[in-house]
A and B are shown apart, each in its own frame.
Chain A
Amino acid sequence: MSQETTHAHHEHPDVVGSRNRLGVILIIVADVAMALSILFVYFYLKGQNVNNMWLPTATEEVPATVPVSSMGAFYIAIISAFGMLLNGYALKGAKAKNQSQLTLGAMIAFAMSVIGLVYQIQQMNSAPFTMRMGAYASCYYLIAGLNALHLALTAFISLGNWNRARLGLYKTDHWHVAIIQVWWIWMTVSAALGAFALSFT
């Protein structure tokens, strides 16, 4: 079936890069399935409105659940979009061998992820209901929780990215930054999807 060829131990960075890119995209596929399921949960429970408890009305002990504006969630998406743009700026710098542009973009992208994370946690803390108060409240925390998880991951990744850019590890190849860009795009899209869902109460 086969013949043998010469040795090829050291692979070209582009080969390694494209393989890693595919791997990350596949993992994102799994995450997309989860994010879409969360949207399904939201709209299914909203549509069913079992026992009229999607948004419970006031009882003697518990006030009615008032949905929050989806603007907060859209702000998260906008922050993510900024992060994505800055990482793209860093990627351009890496391609043009512009070390300072690369480091600056990566640093501010990292800052964006931290800002987004802090803002998301603050939103969760200041919501006018707890997660025990009906199906809407549960779903709100689910979407917010997914955002927070994504942002925490993004913070880890973009911190590493900044650090590696700073250390000059991207001088010969820049596929790490390109792959992180794929993740930023998905981060932005998923935040926007969550915000979109929350705009239907």
Chain B
Amino acid sequence: MTTTMDRTASAGHSAKSPLIEKLNVFTAFGLGIILAVVFYVLAAKLIPEDTDAMLIHTKHDQIILLAMIGWFIGFMVGIGALIGPFRWLLGKDLSHDENMFYAGKDLGTKRYFRYTTDHKVVGIQYLVTTMIIFGVGGILAMLIRTNLGNPEGGWIHPQAYNAIVGIHGIIMIVGTIIMITGPFGNFVMPIMIGARDMAFPRLNALSFWLIVAAIPPILSSFFLGGIMTGWTAYEPLASESPAGMDGYIMFICIFAISTMVAGANITATVVRMRARGMTWNRTPIFIYGVVASVALALPAFPVFFLSQIMSAFDRAMGTTFYNPAGGGSGWLYENLFWLMGHPEVYVILLPAIGALMEMAPVFTRRPLFSFNVAVMGIAGICGLSALVWAHHMYMSGWAPLLNGPFMLTTELISIPTGMLFLVLVGTLWRGRLWLTVPMASIYALLWNFMIGGITGIYLSDVPADGALHGTMFVTAHFHYTLMGAGLTGAVASLSYWFPKMTGRMLDRRLSWVSFWMVQIGFNVAFIGMFLVGLAGQPRRVESYNAMFNRGNMVTTAGAYVIMTGMLILLFAVVDSWRNGIKASDNPWFAKTLEWSVPTPVPLENFATLPVVTTDAYGYGKAKS
């Protein structure tokens, strides 16, 4: 992404430069930290001490939460997120030049460090952020696996261990949620539908910078006693956790706002801004995957947001939403959490599968098999996923009579999932396979997602769940779906769209090495985990009976192989980005619109907007 700069450094070159040109990531961090400190000091001084008569001590949590709110406000003001709304309020809408400045016109690399509205810049920002998030989550995963290398656990204190497990969980969930809709949904999607930018470019920048604002709170929770609840943050355990829990709460609240903003933005873009002639039948399947994902997240994440707001109130204001002593209920939390939690799984999966379905025709040189079935499958998953949340709660005892109905809806979801399998194998059948990393990823997805899916059938069954719920079996199952299927799709997307995003090819040899190491390591690690789960090892334990030792050793060994493979991929990405082979505009000879624009993609993408006359899958010799 290098562009010629004829007017470098327009920011801050004179005292008269307007406010919007002064704000960037540094002012954001500066103001955020200042306000956090100010809020902290003021809160510590002004809030009355807890009295002994109070059953729940709240002052400490109030101070921490206020400091984090101070950080949040300071950061968003400092990055310039509020300029747009206030200019609207004052009736001084941004001029064309100002909008162009916001879009990063002629700013060179500086535009990556400010509130830039160009969707391609946001896409790159998301890509780098996602990689950082995976890096942090991966380090935590390696700490967990290393600690579990021997039965005694041992060298990590249980409190630190629980914090590591919880933060690994939540940060990876967030990473996987944004890993495709963030980088590729932002960079590729608007070009793919023939649009000049997203529907709401400023909201696009907002959704990205909200994620940046959310990360310091969750990382700070390591220094505030950690969280001891796992990523689910079940109540009432969360209420008795140390102040690290406040970091978790803040993280989720900010992230939920980001998801909502991104969801509204992406959905509106696809619904309203497709090129002329791009009917729903001609819209690429990847677009369906992305829209289904964000449209599912849109109503799901506010529920999560609310559940965390209530957690915060319980901790800091002494309310009793979840505290049984005051009429609260842990089941309430579980319901709210899983009302978000299950759709969220498909929020992660759908874009990954959509991306691989997009690549399947390109690398088999034949049309996508049964486009309509693919759309039906995605829609079916979306619809059903809102009705299955309580299968996470079969064993909670909240409503034994509802176990049957939820078993029904959960098993029904295997029908639309099966449709996606049909589309993929139907496309492979008698195609000419161009063996590239994306092609191999389709095979990896079929393998991993098949295992993840079938183990899901056991778990969806109430009696089997009686044996398996809360064991490592569940952990292995969702790693197979989220990592084996989801992350595989994301890595495939990276190597598929890397030429368009960076102008260079991802190193072929290294990405093959990485592919095989990650896939083999992954299967070794998590099949080992399945076995200890079946044998009865609970989740989230820092020590276990000696009988599980062998399986855990296998898993730990597999995890180190994954880590090596991921580091190789990281090296390949950095190296190829800087000095890889220059890519042509359409290295895969694909037919979707994003390959029709020059690389690097110019600002506003299309000099003249395209008109679409066919779908994007017109491969194959004869025309029927």
Contacts and interface: CB of A to CB of B under 8 A. Distances in A.
A122 interface: no
B299 interface: yes
Contact of A30 (B273, B301, B313): B301
A121 interface: no
Interface in B292-337: 298-303, 305-307, 310, 313, 317-321, 324-329, 331-332, 335-336
Given A29-B299, A49-B327, A138-B321, A1 B596 contact: yes
A135 B310 CA distance: 12
A23 B273 contact: no
Interface in A35-68: 37-38, 40-41, 44-45, 48-54, 56, 61
Contact of A134 (B56, B199, B307, B320): B320
Nearest to B260: A30
A130 to B, nearest CB: 8
A196 B591 CA distance: 54
Interface stretch (B22-30, B87-95, B418-426): B87-95
Nearest to B199: A19
A33 B321 contact: no
A125 interface: no
Contacts of B298: 26, 29-30, 33
A144 to B, nearest CB: 12
Interface in B75-125: 85, 88-91, 93
B294 to A, nearest CB: 9
A31 B260 CA distance: 9
Interface stretch (A74-82, A84-92, A97-105, A162-170): A162-170
A7 B327 contact: no
Nearest to A156: B89
A71 interface: no
Interface stretch (B35-43, B464-472, B609-617): B609-617
A5 B609 contact: yes
Given A134-B326, A159-B89, A2 B268 contact: no
Given A37-B339, A41-B332, A50 B327 contact: yes
A53 B310 contact: no
Contacts of B302: 30-31, 33-34, 37
A135 B327 contact: yes
A45 B333 CA distance: 11
A138 B301 CA distance: 22
Contact of A1 (B267, B268, B335, B613): B613
Nearest to B319: A138
B592 interface: yes
A27 B592 contact: no
Contact of B310 (A5, A19, A26, A142): A142
A22 B271 contact: yes
A138 B328 CA distance: 9
Interface in A1-28: 1-8, 15, 18-20, 22-23, 26-27
B618 interface: yes
Given A5-B611, A26-B263, A29-B299, A141 B319 contact: yes
Given A22-B271, A160-B89, A167-B91, A4 B328 contact: no
Nearest to A132: B318
User: Of B320, B324, B327, B610, which is in contact with the most chain A CB atoms at under 10 Å from its CB?
Assistant: B327
Interface residues of A, number: 55
A160 B93 CA distance: 12
B299 A33 contact: yes
Contacts of B609: 4-5, 8
Interface residues of B, number: 68
B319 A6 contact: no
B361 to A, nearest CB: 13
B614 A23 contact: no
B613 A2 contact: yes
Given A4-B611, A134-B320, A23 B264 contact: yes
A32 interface: yes
A134 B324 CA distance: 10
A131 interface: yes
B275 interface: yes
A1 B618 contact: yes
Contacts of B317: 131-132
Contacts of B300: 33
A45 B332 contact: yes
A48 B610 contact: no
Contacts of B260: 27, 30
B616 A53 contact: no
A90 to B, nearest CB: 15
Nearest to A18: B272
Contacts of B593: 1-2
Interface-centre pick from B265, B272, B273 (highest chain A CB count, 10 A): B272
A45 B327 contact: yes
A2 B596 contact: yes
Nearest to A33: B299
Nearest to B339: A37
B268 A26 contact: yes
Nearest to A65: B327
A188 B261 CA distance: 23
A52 B260 CA distance: 37
B327 A163 contact: no
A137 B90 CA distance: 39
A15 B610 CA distance: 18
A48 B93 CA distance: 51
A50 B324 contact: yes
Contacts of A33: 298-300, 302-303
Nearest to B336: A37
A186 B300 CA distance: 19
Contact of A23 (B93, B199, B325): B199
Nearest to A8: B609
Contacts of B329: 44-45, 48, 50
Contacts of A22: 199, 267-268, 271-272
A172 to B, nearest CB: 13
Interface string B52-71: 01011000000000000000
Nearest to B54: A132
B617 to A, nearest CB: 10
B545 interface: no
Given A1-B593, A131-B318, A26 B613 contact: no
6 contacts: A1-B592, A5-B609, A22-B272, A26-B264, A131-B313, A160-B91
Interface of B: 53, 55-56, 85, 88-91, 93, 194, 199-200, 203, 260-261, 263-265, 267-268, 271-273, 275-276, 298-303, 305-307, 310, 313, 317-321, 324-329, 331-332, 335-336, 339, 591-593, 596, 606-616, 618
The 10 closest A-B pairs by CB, nearest first: A53-B327, A135-B327, A26-B264, A34-B302, A33-B299, A2-B610, A138-B319, A160-B89, A132-B318, A167-B91
Interface of A: 1-8, 15, 18-20, 22-23, 26-27, 29-34, 37-38, 40-41, 44-45, 48-54, 56, 61, 131-132, 134-139, 141-142, 156, 159-160, 163-164, 166-167, 169
Given A50-B328, A139-B321, 12 more contacts: A1-B591, A2-B275, A4-B609, A4-B610, A7-B607, A8-B609, A22-B268, A33-B298, A33-B300, A33-B303, A138-B328, A160-B88
